[in-house]
């Protein structure tokens, strides 16, 4: 018997069609006013689904998805981890915070090795996103590491910052830079040398994901490692200059900057140095890690590859062991819904475009890449457009929907899952019209898909992983400010059952969350959920 076996659900009547699960990334439930891009969009299909009897709201942030507290927003990674795991696991922010606060972090082999390189004459370099968004990083964790470096006698530290403007205010970089500079000044007491060396916007350099745009990583490599790029006396001057040159530019799109002294970069990375990536979230740190670690590397010309000790905050891909060295032990999620469905012999199909392909596969499967059982599973990636998403807010909805309809009509798959990225990716741009179009594109895709599911006699299950498009702006001191980050809003959950085989009703659970979805899907497929899963959102009517 498989380690991941499922028992048949008593009284269940099988049906011929598939269960089709759709994640509308970033489509939350907002205030339903002029600030709510989902509400403003023309969405007749979502409106109709919201009136179905099998409809409820799910919590998709804070402790419900393993974040430290309920004022922490959810994100696509923790959302898909939780959806696929059926239980709540402590996530990157919480794992790293607990490790740092307890002191275990500084007892680890990777930290000690980095300090040894410093004591042997090398520089310790920190590279990562500078913000308190708590999605990829938290500035508090960086400051803790810097202060520990000073306490352990590290003489020379350089910080290479990526400005955010996506998970936090779109022009908030100067405040974070000031906080960092104050700590660096304090750490430099006694003749030490701690400074910001380079930087740029997260969506312009370094933080590409899913190999969508390796040119971003190349620009980051040239900036951080080689010390090549537009030069400035300090980071604040760089940001202020870019703001002045383009009144519309936001932190996430700032061009590169290199800090120089006497005409030379103060922080190029050299042989014998240690490099620590302080992002705890993996998707936008994997490619940088590969650039440092891969011997056989052909994504761009590195020109010079320094012999350094490189470590990530966490291991960003456990299957491919990226990076080889890491500061905090990774989350190990076993017993995901995919493992159970493969154990039960259920055939499945998963699809998204590049921007969220890893979410519906890697993160869904508990931070494991590749197939669990190639004989039962098929994954499809639709290449994303390499443009800012407010320019093409429809993204690849049509192509994803075409493939979904073909999968439904093939009759080969009992469980089909997909991610429509639009609400999140376009929501991050803060462009109101583009956000509305993005949500409308998803609604149109659902209309086409639901017709196919109905014809096949299946059922559709639709939800979101977190909010984003549901908040276009906030008002401070009477002034509207674009909101480009995730929200703390609940997300919709709805079932449209065309099979007519079984009668279900929504179970009363108090405050249900994303962790209740996996058990629900397993029940809909005709099995009892594992005992350690959070309870299903449905029960027999």
Looking at the chain, the whole-number percentage of residues with pLDDT higher than 90 is: 90
> Six-digit token pair at 443?
């609604």
Q: What is the mean pLDDT of residues 6-32?
A: 98
* pLDDT score, position 319: 57
Under DSSP, the state recorded for 353 is: E
Q: In this structure, are strands 309-314 and 538-540 parallel, antiparallel, or unpaired? A: unpaired
Contact 314, 326 (CB under 8 A): yes
Identify the weakest region by mean pLDDT among 92-101, 368-377, 378-387, 460-469. 92-101
pLDDT at position 76 = 92
Mean residue pLDDT across the chain: 96
162-188 mean pLDDT: 97
Mean pLDDT of 236-264: 97
Q: Is the pLDDT of residue 519 over 90?
A: yes
Name the pairing type of β-strands 415-420 and 274-277.
Answer: unpaired
Q: Token pair of 172, please?
A: 């908030």
- Residue 142 in tokens: 């960086």
Among candidate residues 335, 445, 438, 443, the one with its CA nearest the CA of residue 395: 438
Q: Torsions phi, psi of 244, nearest 5?
A: -70, -35
Token representation of residue 54:
């099998």
- Can you say whether the dihedral through the CA atoms of 365, 370, 372, 375 is positive or negative? positive
Sign of CA dihedral 421, 217, 281, 362: positive
Q: Are strands 309-314 and 274-277 parallel, antiparallel or unpaired?
A: parallel
pLDDT computed for residue 73 by the predictor: 86
Task: Output the pLDDT for position 472.
Answer: 97
User: What does the block give as tokens for 8?
Assistant: 């048949």
Give the pLDDT confidence score for residue 1 in this predicted structure: 45
Q: State yes or no: pLDDT of 445 exceeds 70.
A: yes
Residue 161: pLDDT over 70: yes
Q: What does the pLDDT read at residue 318?
A: 62
Could you report the per-residue pLDDT of 309-362, keeping only the tens digit for each? 999 999 887 657 899 999 997 677 999 999 999 999 999 999 999 999 999 999
* Across 384-400, average pLDDT: 96
Enter the DSSP assignment of 34.
T
Encode pLDDT of 176-234 as tens digits.
999 999 999 999 999 999 999 999 999 999 999 878 899 999 999 999 999 999 999 99
Question: Using alpha carbons only, how large is the chain's radius of gyration in Å?
Answer: 24
Reported as a single tens digit per residue, the pLDDT across 294-314 is 999 999 999 999 999 999 999
Q: Is 32 left (phi over 0), alpha (psi -120 to 50) or beta?
A: left
Contact 180, 195 (CB under 8 A): no
pTM (2 d.p.): 0.77
What does the pLDDT read at residue 332? 72
CA distance 172 to 181: 15
The three-state DSSP-derived secondary structure of 283-345 is CCCHHHHHHHHCCCCCCCCCCCCCCCEEEEEECCECCCCECCCEEECCCCCCCCHHHHHHHCC
CA distances from 130 to 191, 346, 425 (A): 25, 43, 20
- For the chain, domains (ranges, CATH) are 19-90+332-540 (3.40.720.10), 93-328 (3.40.1450.10)
pLDDT > 80? residue 278: yes
Look at residue 210 in the predicted model and tell me its pLDDT: 76
Q: What whole-number distance in Å separates Cα of residue 229 and Cα of residue 64? A: 43
List the catalytic residues: 76
pLDDT of residue 283: 84
pLDDT, tens digit (0-9, with 9 covering 90-100), for 397-424: 999 999 999 999 999 999 999 999 999 9
Find out whether 22 and 493 touch, Cβ atoms under 8 Å.
Answer: no
Peptide bond into 323 cis (omega under 30): yes
């Amino acid at each position: 018997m498989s380690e991941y076996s499922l028992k048949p659900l008593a009284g269940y009547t099988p049906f011929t069609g598939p269960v089709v699960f759709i994640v509308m990334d970033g489509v939350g439930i907002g205030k339903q006013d002029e600030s709510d891009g989902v509400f403003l969009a023309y969405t007749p299909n979502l409106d109709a689904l919201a009136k179905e009897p099998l409809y409820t709201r799910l919590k998709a942030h804070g402790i419900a998805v393993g974040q430290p507290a309920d004022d922490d927003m959810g994100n696509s990674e923790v959302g898909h981890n939780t959806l696929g795991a059926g239980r709540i696991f402590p996530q990157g922010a919480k794992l790293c915070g607990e490790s740092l606060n307890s002191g275990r972090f500084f007892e680890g082999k990777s930290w000690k090795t980095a300090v040894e390189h410093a004591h042997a004459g090398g520089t310790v370099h920190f590279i990562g996103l500078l913000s308190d968004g708590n999605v990829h990083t938290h500035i508090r964790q960086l400051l803790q590491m810097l202060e520990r470096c000073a306490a352990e006698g590290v003489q020379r530290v350089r910080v290479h910052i990526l400005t955010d403007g996506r998970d936090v205010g779109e022009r908030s970089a100067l405040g974070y830079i000031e906080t960092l500079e104050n700590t660096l000044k304090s750490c430099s007491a006694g003749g030490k040398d701690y400074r910001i060396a380079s930087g740029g916007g997260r969506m312009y350099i370094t933080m590409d994901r899913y190999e969508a745009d390796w040119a971003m990583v190349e620009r980051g490599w040239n900036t951080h490692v080689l010390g090549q790029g537009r030069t400035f006396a300090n980071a604040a001057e760089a940001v202020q200059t870019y703001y002045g040159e383009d009144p519309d530019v936001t932190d996430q799109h700032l061009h590169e900057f290199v800090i120089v002294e006497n005409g030379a970069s103060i922080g190029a990375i050299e042989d014998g140095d240690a490099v620590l990536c302080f992002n705890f979230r993996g998707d936008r740190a994997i490619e940088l890690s590969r650039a440092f670690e891969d011997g056989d590397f052909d994504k761009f010309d590195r020109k010079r590859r320094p012999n350094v000790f490189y470590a990530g905050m966490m291991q960003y891909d456990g299957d491919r062991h990226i990076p080889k060295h890491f500061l905090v032990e990774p989350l190990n999620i076993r017993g995901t819904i995919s493992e159970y469905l493969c154990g039960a012999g259920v055939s499945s199909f998963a699809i998204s475009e590049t921007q969220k392909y890893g979410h519906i596969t890697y993160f869904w499967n508990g931070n494991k890449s590749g197939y669990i059982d190639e004989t039962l599973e098929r994954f499809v990636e639709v290449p994303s457009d390499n443009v800012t998403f407010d320019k093409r807010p429809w993204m690849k909805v049509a192509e994803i929907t075409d493939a979904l309809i073909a999968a439904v009509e093939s009759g080969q798959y009992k469980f089909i899952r997909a991610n429509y990225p639009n609400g999140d990716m376009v929501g991050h741009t803060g462009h109101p019209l583009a956000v509305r179009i993005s949500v409308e594109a998803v609604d149109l895709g659902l209309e086409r898909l639901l017709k196919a599911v109905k014809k096949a006699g299946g059922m559709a299950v639709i939800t979101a992983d977190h909010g984003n498009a549901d908040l276009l702006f906030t008002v401070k001191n009477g002034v509207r400010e674009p909101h480009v980050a995730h929200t703390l809003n609940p997300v919709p959950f709805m079932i449209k059952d065309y099979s007519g085989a079984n009668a279900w009703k929504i179970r009363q659970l108090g405050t249900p969350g994303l962790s209740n979805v996996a058990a629900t899907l397993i029940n809909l497929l005709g099995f009892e959920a594992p005992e350690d899963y959070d309870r299903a959102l449905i029960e027999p009517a």
